[in-house]
């Protein structure tokens, strides 16, 4: 795709730094707030700056946009613009590359001072108003790891390779990166048969995930075909599905997770569009010979996985106080997932269930085949039997108060600029 061409350069110096997450080929969307009077505005990240897209639309600096698209860009969330589908998004991407290009109108101009905002000077807000949130369980390695801990005789349930397993999550408690996460109370039981007590969770965990924000959905009673499903996705963002393992263990049978998950889910502020990710799509997903056949409604000749490197970093409170950098806890690839977003969407709507603009579908914990690519502490420390040694001398089996979890993600390959996802951060606050 032309807009991913490495040779395109930006007038923003920091976007030319090869290490930046946000070159002109990326342009992820987010919602930022400079001050309360102005309120939340739609922008795109460029280097260490944000282009005020709303301001650019108001000022007439974005050529080729319809009035409808311009009006949608003045809203405090991305829903209205996303709902217009891929064509206006592509037009805007080209217009933004012209505006931010090396020889564009911002060069040596006063307009740049108004439209470019340093990222350090703003607060990021939720990019979408999320109506519904569904969390899947699409990593074979994660499902096998967790299954082997709790059901050694049958790690993978019989349905797992037939359908993308998921559950309906809670949209109201999704927060943007940087929001503190309070340790939840819950029922926990020492033995499988009880008795239970009500107390703060002591097995608090993160889950490294990638989320897809829906641009367009489907009318109730209709389905989205797997081959068209990716067209419904606006873009991808990093997700941390915080999990209270002790609560989960007691409550999950027979209907699945509930309070173990509903207290908080963190999303990164930047949504990377599928257009920016096009060079990093690989044919997939991989299937083994012994796997069951993929049913027709989940089968697409040209389905793809996204080759995103994903990392979890951890900093304890003493580490931060001593200005020690966070420790890398795991690194894996999103290309290792067994089920794709297209298959999750096709399966979700196969009943006629309607998806809507702004819905968030998360992948489930992303774990790879090796111990250092396991995307949760439950797996990384193998239920606490292999604690992590932290640089401040402490050990971690599960999260302690004051711990900060940082998820990062990026795509890179020779011949292309790095496409980064920014960060998804959260710090654990003591139970209240």
The residues that touch Mn ion, with contacts defined as CB under 5 A, are 135, 207, 241
CB of 83 to Mn ion, least distance (A): 26
Are 424 and 238 spatial neighbours (Cβ–Cβ below 8 Å)? yes
Residue among 70 and 374 whose Cβ is closer to Mn ion = 374
Q: Which C-beta is closer to Mn ion: that of 170 or that of 228?
A: 170
In the complex with Mn ion, the residue whose CB is nearer, 86 or 184, is 184
CB atoms within 10 A of CB 290: 6
Q: Which long-range contacts (CB under 8 A, 24 or more apart) does 415-418 make?
A: 415/6, 416/4, 416/6, 416/25, 416/279, 416/280, 417/6, 417/18, 417/23, 417/25, 417/26, 418/18, 418/19, 418/20, 418/21, 418/23
**7 vs 172, beta carbon nearer Mn ion:** 172
User: How many other β-carbons are positioned within 10 Å of the β-carbon of residue 258?
Assistant: 14
In angstroms, rounded to a whole number, what is the distance separating the alpha carbons of residues 347 and 334?
20
Q: What residues pair up with 31 in beta bridges, in sequence order?
A: 42, 125
Q: How far apart are CA 402 and CA 420, in angstroms?
A: 27
Min separation Cβ 68 and Mn ion, Å: 36
Compute the least distance from the CB of residue 1 to Mn ion, in Å: 31
In 338-418, DSSP assigns E strands to: 360-362, 388-389, 395-396, 404-411
In the complex, least distance from residue 265 CB atom to Mn ion, rounded to whole angstroms: 8
Out of 141, 142, 347, 348, which one is annotated catalytic? Answer: 142
Q: Kindly tell me which of 207 and 246 has the beta carbon lying closer to Mn ion.
A: 207
Residue 127 token pair: 């990019």
Catalytic, 141? Answer no
CB of 297 to Mn ion, least distance (A): 24
Give the residue at shortest CB distance from Mn ion.
Answer: 241
147, two tokens: 């299954």
Residue positions annotated with a catalytic role: 142
């Amino acid at each position: 795709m032309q807009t991913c061409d490495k040779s395109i350069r930006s007038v923003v110096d920091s976007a030319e730094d090869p290490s930046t997450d946000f070159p002109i080929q990326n342009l992820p969307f987010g919602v930022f707030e400079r001050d309360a009077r102005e309120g939340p505005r739609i922008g795109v990240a460029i280097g260490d700056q944000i282009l005020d897209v709303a301001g650019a639309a108001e000022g007439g600096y974005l050529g080729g946009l319809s009035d409808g698209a311009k009006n949608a860009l003045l809203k405090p969330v991305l829903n209205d613009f996303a709902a217009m589908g891929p064509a206006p998004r592509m037009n805007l991407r080209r217009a933004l590359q012209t505006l931010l290009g090396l020889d564009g109108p911002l060069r040596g101009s006063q307009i740049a001072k108004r439209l470019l905002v340093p990222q350090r000077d703003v607060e990021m807000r939720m990019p979408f108003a999320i109506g519904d949130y569904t969390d899947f369980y699409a990593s074979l390695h994660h499902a096998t790891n967790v299954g082997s801990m709790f059901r050694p005789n049958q790690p993978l349930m019989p349905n797992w390779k037939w359908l993308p397993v998921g559950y309906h999550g809670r949209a109201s408690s999704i927060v943007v990166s940087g929001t503190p996460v309070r340790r939840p109370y819950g029922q926990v039981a020492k033995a499988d048969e009880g008795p239970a007590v009500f107390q703060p969770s002591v097995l608090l965990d993160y889950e490294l995930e990638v989320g897809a924000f829906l641009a367009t959905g489907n009318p109730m009673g209709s389905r989205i075909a797997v081959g068209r499903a990716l067209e419904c996705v606006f873009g991808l963002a990093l997700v941390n599905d915080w999990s209270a393992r002790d609560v989960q263990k007691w409550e999950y049978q027979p209907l699945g997770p509930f309070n173990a998950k509903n207290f908080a889910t963190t999303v990164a502020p930047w949504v990377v569009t599928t257009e920016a990710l096009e060079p990093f799509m690989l044919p997939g997903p991989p299937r083994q010979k012994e796997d069951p056949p993929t049913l027709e409604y989940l089968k697409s000749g040209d389905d793809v996985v996204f080759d995103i490197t994903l990392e979890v970093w951890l900093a304890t409170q003493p580490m931060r106080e001593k200005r020690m950098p966070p420790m890398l806890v795991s690194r894996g690839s999103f290309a290792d997932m067994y089920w794709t977003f297209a298959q999750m969407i096709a399966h979700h709507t196969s009943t006629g269930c309607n998806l809507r603009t702004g819905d968030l579908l998360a992948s489930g914990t992303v774990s790879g085949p090796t111990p250092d690519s396991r995307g949760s502490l439950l797996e990384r420390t193998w239920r606490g039997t292999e604690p992590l040694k932290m640089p401040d001398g402490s050990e971690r089996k599960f999260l302690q108060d004051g711990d900060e979890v940082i998820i990062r993600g990026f795509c890179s390959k020779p011949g292309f600029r790095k496409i980064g996802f920014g960060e998804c951060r959260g710090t654990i606050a003591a139970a209240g």
